[in-house]
Amino acid sequence: MSTHATHPRRGGLPRPGRRFHDDVSGQPSGGYYHPGSYQKMRRSLRPAKPTVVSVLGELLVTAGVFLLLFVVWELYWTNLDANRQADAHQQQVIDDFQRNYDGMFTGDGPDPAVPAEVGDGAEAWGILYVPRLGSDWSSPVLDGVSPEVIDQGVLGRYPDSPRPGEEGNLAMAAHRQTHGSILWDMDQVVEGDRMYLQTANGWWVYEVKQNHIVLPTAIEVLDPNPLDPGGPASGQWLTITTCHPLYTTRERMVTHAEKVEFVPLADGPPEEIAEVAAESMPAGATTIDPDLEETMHELAPVTMENLYEKYHATQTQRETETAEAAAR
C-alpha cells in the first residue's frame, strides 16, 4: 500500500478519518482527525471580545501610570530643574557682590546709608541666609512672586514691598514643596532666630518675632507693620510666606522678623553665617591676619579709598620685619 495516502496533505489537514502519523517514527499515532475538533480549536484560539470592564480596567491602569509619572515630575524633576536655576542666580549675584566689594576700595561701591537696589525679576539682587534651616542654607532673592519667578527655586519679593533699608514690611514668597522645596523646614523657625539678607551694601540682620499659620485671604500679613495690621509703618520688617501644610495650598505659613542690625560689606559677614557667606566675598577678603586687628582699628577713621592701600602696606611691613627677625 502506498504511504502517500496516509500522510497529511501538504499545506493542509489530513483527510477526515485518516490516522495521524508520528512525526519521528512515521508510525500511526493511534488518533483520528475529526473536522469538528479543528473548528473548536480555532474558536478557542480567537481573542475574546473586549468588555466594558476590561476597557475600563485598561484605562485605569493607563491613567495610573500617567499619574505616577506626573508625581515623579512634580516632586522630583521640578526640584532638580529649580535647583539648577537657583544655583545660576546665586552665582550671578555673588559675582555682582564681588565686583561691589572691589569697588568699595576705589570709591565706586554702594553707600550703606542708601536702601539696597532690587531687580526686575530677571536677575537676583540678594541672598537670604536662615541658619535654622541649615548651616549651609541660602537662597537668591529676585523681584516678583509670579510662578515664572518662584518656580526657579528662589525667594521672590512682593512688588509693592519696600527695599531693604526702607521703613515698612519687605515681604517675600517661595515654595515649600516642589520647585526646589526651599522652605520645606520653615515650620522649624522659632521666635528669636535670626535671618540675614545680603545685598550689595552688606548684611541686613533680622530677628524672628512671629511664625504663624493664616488663611490665603489674610493679606494683612503684608501690611507695613505686620504685628499691627492697618497701622502705620514702624521699623523695618521682613516677612516670608509659603504654603501650609505640606503638599497643599490650603493655608499659609507666615514668618515675621524685625531688623536689628546692619553689617557693612567691608566688615565681612556676621559670625553666624561667616562660613556659608564667605563664597560671596573675593578670595582672601575674609581672612585678615588676626595680628593686624589692632592696626585695622587704628586705620578705621581713614577714607575707604586709602584703606585697602594702607592695609596691604602694613601687612608688607610686618612680613618684612618677620623675615629680618628670622634672618638674624
pLDDT, residue 122, reads 77
Four-residue CA torsion sign, 58, 63, 69, 72? negative
Residue closest to 307 by CA, chosen among 99, 97, 104 = 104
Regarding pTM above 0.75, the answer is no
Q: Find out whether 208 and 140 touch, Cβ atoms under 8 Å.
A: no
CA distance 132 to 121: 27
pLDDT, residue 290, reads 44
Three-state SS sequence of the chain: CCHHHHCCCCCCCCCCCCEEECCCCCCEEEEECCHHHHHHHHHHHCCCCCCHHHHHHHHHHHHHHHHHHHHHHHHHHHHHHHHHHHHHHHHHHHHHHHHHHHHCCCCCCCCCCCCCCCCCCCCCCEEEECHHHCCCCEEEEEECCCHHHHCCCCEEECCCCCCCCCCEEEEEECCCCCCCCCCCCHHHCCCCCEEEEECCCEEEEEEEEEEEEECCCCHHHHCCCCCCCCCCCCCEEEEEEEEECCCCCCEEEEEEEEEEEEEEHHHCCCHHHHHHHHHHCCCCCCCCCHHHHHHHHHHCCCCHHHHHHHHHHHHHHHHHHHHHHHHC
Domain boundaries, the chain: 12-45, 77-278, 293-321
Residues of the chain falling short of pLDDT 50: 1-9, 11, 17, 19-20, 104-113, 286-293, 295-297, 299-305, 307-308
Measure CA 169 to chain center.
24
Q: What is the CA radius of gyration of the chain?
A: 37
CA distance 223 to 162: 11
Cell numbers of 107, please?
570709591
pLDDT, residue 292, reads 43
Catalytic residue among 130, 174, 243, 273: 243
CATH homologous superfamily for 77-278?
Answer: Sortase (2.40.260.10)
In angstroms, the Cα distances linking 131 to 136, 168, 190 are 7, 24, 12
**Residue for cell digits 532666630?**
193
pLDDT, residue 130, reads 98
Question: Is residue 250 exposed (0-12), middle (13-18) or buried (19+ Cβ within 10 Å)?
Answer: exposed
What are phi and psi for residue 208, nearest 5 degrees? -65, 130
Looking only at the bridges linking them, the beta strands covering 155-157 and 138-143 are parallel
pLDDT, residue 108, reads 45
Tell me, yes or no, if 243 is annotated catalytic: yes
Q: Find out whether 251 and 215 touch, Cβ atoms under 8 Å.
A: yes
Neighbours of 40 (CB within 10 A): 10
What percentage of the chain exceeds 70 in pLDDT?
62
Residue closest to 254 by CA, chosen among 186, 162, 165 = 186
